[in-house]
A and B are shown apart, each in its own frame.
Chain A
């Protein structure tokens, strides 16, 4: 893999060149918080950001998205026939995505891209996107990526990794997509032979700053039903304070559930999908009125069991979490996935106890 040196002025010049070749998406500050947005002409991504409040999942998977359009005009020969609308699938590049959010795409891909069914909306966006990641040199106290299958310099799901070296960036070119993007940006100054060593050194420094972690090594070994039935040790104390607000699911880069709703406007309509949340009673409510998850405790259990047990057992690729820490920072009642994970991991069904105290 080659490493390129990009000076601050070259970064801006390169982004200007890229503007004509593709759509640029990056972190920008709006009011108090950063979020990912398509950059306006001449707008630059704010690469001094720590992380966005909402994750980058919306880049591939908008919070609301039209799936189909239809006519409700009975005189129309296409009356009530659903049609997939034309969508912009032109190339786009995300500049400055954090490695945890890029690794979350790989987690989501297991859901959207299966052997039997492929979600065309997510996948076509994914294929059209080049990911230029930004390594984290100053992780937050709530970050635990290193124990959640990611890391501050993780580049497994990136096309280019940018590393701030004080005087511009070192750019590790990882894939052909990344190579092409660097070429069209005119980033071609090969860095010296010590560049890889410099990146590794910075990576080690960043990793050593991450003090929080989850233990997940026993999750696969535990019986699913034992963990599910750990009401008194885990689910009741953890769910007690939950207000089912759903903030965790909206902020999470790996929460992928969606609802489908039809909307009509006069004689036309759309079928759209919207992010949904397992925190809400309606998520599992039957038409008969019966609700299989009719308590908040059951819904809190669903979220954590999905991320930390069902997913683990189904895919055998670790936990459905990349350690970004957003849910920890944003939960209004301080439910902490790290504590829940450590409880699940240390649960002893014989004694019905965990080694971690309730927070």
Chain B
């Protein structure tokens, strides 16, 4: 009987400080045991439990893409006991990764469709995974137009900045990068909040267009009326939830919203599904 609570041992291979306030770091892990990477086959939008012996586990979205081989990456905001300890860990340290967990974005459904990714702040991790996945030469032809609207407080708070700039130069993806404000005279992207840029840049909703929205509650609150106005149906607005979790496999009972468990039935839900669910997230 396989133990679903047992993490795969991993080594921290690389640590990148992502933001100017140093509150976000990306950890690149390599699996210690041969075969574990194959067992950890995942889809963009899934998450995993990062495990530190002696401290506990935290559920974190997978930031690397299934098309990137040899490692798995997570971007972690320093906030509690485990994340604070993780931020103090060094390359070469041993810890654990357990997963992948959850349902991922609906990739079968999105094939042949226009995909509009709307992200804010540090909720961009599984969106990065999704973009890298869609832009991979084997996958790009499966999707029509790709739009990305991504905003942060300031240029220094954007995640994956180099990749963002590189994607902005490509002609097979429409990048709409924005910051709340900046006094950088060289800043050549948008200034303004995500809902406003969405209204300005997102394509109108139709049967072939899906929006994936991930961000802080305030961004989601003000983006939804914009998407309504643009004509997006609630079954075409896809969101990823977070809740306090322990087991990650639908057994411990912590993360339910109504009869759904965010860890196993989610974390990805359509707005249509969420409309029928208690707002306990």
Q: Tell me whether B276 and A225 are in contact (CB under 8 A).
A: yes
Per-position contact with B for A220-233: 1 when CB-CB < 8 Å, else 0? 00001100100000
Q: Tell me whether A81 and B9 are in contact (CB under 8 A).
A: yes
Which one of B247, B253, B280 lies within 8 Å of A292 (CB-CB)? Answer: B280
A-side contacts of B244, CB under 8 Å: 283-287
Which one of B51, B242, B258 lies within 8 Å of A224 (CB-CB)? Answer: B258
Per-position contact with A for B250-280: 1 when CB-CB < 8 Å, else 0? 1111101111000010000000000011111
A298 within 8 A of B: yes
B200 within 8 A of A: no
Bound Cα distance from A124 to B96, whole angstroms: 25
Bound Cα distance from A140 to B259, whole angstroms: 32
A264 within 8 A of B: yes
B52 CB → nearest A CB, Å: 8
Which one of B9, B252, B256, B258 lies within 8 Å of A260 (CB-CB)? Answer: B252
Among B53-61, B126-134, B166-174, B201-209, which stretch is in contact with chain A?
Answer: B53-61
Which one of B250, B251, B258 lies within 8 Å of A310 (CB-CB)? Answer: B258
Q: Tell me whether A68 and B5 are in contact (CB under 8 A).
A: yes
B34 within 8 A of A: no
Which one of A68, A81, A286, A298 lies within 8 Å of B243 (CB-CB)? Answer: A286
Bound Cα distance from A261 to B258, whole angstroms: 25
Q: Tell me whether B249 and A117 are in contact (CB under 8 A).
A: yes
A352 CB → nearest B CB, Å: 17
A278 within 8 A of B: yes
A357 within 8 A of B: no
A-side contacts of B280, CB under 8 Å: 284, 292-293, 298, 302
Q: Tell me whether A82 and B6 are in contact (CB under 8 A).
A: yes
A31 within 8 A of B: no
Contacts A67-B5, A72-B54, A260-B57; is A80 near B95 (CB within 8 Å)?
yes
| Chain B stretch 80-105: residues in CB contact (< 8 A) with chain A | 80, 83, 94-96
A258 CB → nearest B CB, Å: 5
Q: Tell me whether A310 and B252 are in contact (CB under 8 A).
A: no
Which one of A84, A112, A269, A311 lies within 8 Å of B251 (CB-CB)? Answer: A112
A29 CB → nearest B CB, Å: 32
Q: Tell me whether A262 and B55 are in contact (CB under 8 A).
A: yes
Bound Cα distance from A228 to B244, whole angstroms: 21
B41 CB → nearest A CB, Å: 15
Contacts A283-B254, A287-B79, A292-B243; is A81 near B94 (CB within 8 Å)?
yes
A-side contacts of B7, CB under 8 Å: 82
Per-position contact with B for A250-287: 1 when CB-CB < 8 Å, else 0? 00000011111110100001010100101000011111
A70 within 8 A of B: yes
A-side contacts of B252, CB under 8 Å: 257-260, 273, 276
Bound Cα distance from A79 to B249, whole angstroms: 26
Q: Tell me whether B1 and A124 are in contact (CB under 8 A).
A: yes
Closest-by-CB residue of A relative to B93 is A80
Q: Tell me whether A72 and B246 are in contact (CB under 8 A).
A: no
A355 within 8 A of B: no
| Chain A stretch 98-113: residues in CB contact (< 8 A) with chain B | 111-112
B-side contacts of A217, CB under 8 Å: none
Q: Tell me whether A123 and B56 are in contact (CB under 8 A).
A: no
Q: Tell me whether A288 and B79 are in contact (CB under 8 A).
A: yes
Bound Cα distance from A124 to B1, whole angstroms: 9
Closest-by-CB residue of A relative to B58 is A287
Q: Tell me whether B253 and A257 are in contact (CB under 8 A).
A: yes
Contacts A228-B258, A257-B253, A293-B280; is A120 near B247 (CB within 8 Å)?
no
Q: Tell me whether B243 and A225 are in contact (CB under 8 A).
A: no
A-side contacts of B83, CB under 8 Å: 287
A-side contacts of B277, CB under 8 Å: 224-225
Per-position contact with A for B1-24: 1 when CB-CB < 8 Å, else 0? 111111101000000000000000
Q: Tell me whether A284 and B243 are in contact (CB under 8 A).
A: yes
B222 within 8 A of A: no
Bound Cα distance from A117 to B276, whole angstroms: 26
B83 CB → nearest A CB, Å: 7
B189 within 8 A of A: no
Bound Cα distance from A305 to B280, whole angstroms: 13
B-side contacts of A311, CB under 8 Å: 259
| Chain A stretch 318-348: residues in CB contact (< 8 A) with chain B | none
| Chain A stretch 107-129: residues in CB contact (< 8 A) with chain B | 111-112, 114, 116-120, 123-124
A-side contacts of B80, CB under 8 Å: 287
Bound Cα distance from A79 to B93, whole angstroms: 10
Q: Tell me whether B53 and A70 are in contact (CB under 8 A).
A: yes
B107 within 8 A of A: no
Q: Tell me whether A260 and B54 are in contact (CB under 8 A).
A: no
A-side contacts of B5, CB under 8 Å: 67-68, 260, 271
A-side contacts of B276, CB under 8 Å: 224-225
Contacts A225-B276, A298-B280, A314-B259; is A82 near B57 (CB within 8 Å)?
no
Which one of A119, A123, A264, A276 lies within 8 Å of B54 (CB-CB)? Answer: A264
Q: Tell me whether A117 and B4 are in contact (CB under 8 A).
A: yes
B281 within 8 A of A: yes
Q: Tell me whether A82 and B253 are in contact (CB under 8 A).
A: no
A300 CB → nearest B CB, Å: 13
B242 CB → nearest A CB, Å: 7
Which one of B52, B57, B278, B281 lies within 8 Å of A228 (CB-CB)? Answer: B278
B267 CB → nearest A CB, Å: 13
Which one of A80, A81, A114 lies within 8 Å of B250 (CB-CB)? Answer: A114
Q: Can you name 16 extra interface pairs (CB under 8 A) apart from A72-B54, A119-B251?
A: A70-B53, A80-B54, A80-B96, A82-B9, A117-B250, A120-B2, A124-B1, A256-B251, A260-B246, A262-B55, A276-B254, A283-B244, A287-B58, A292-B279, A292-B281, A310-B256
- 9 A-B pairs in the complex with CB atoms less than 8 angstroms apart: A82-B6, A120-B2, A123-B1, A224-B277, A224-B278, A262-B55, A269-B54, A287-B58, A309-B259
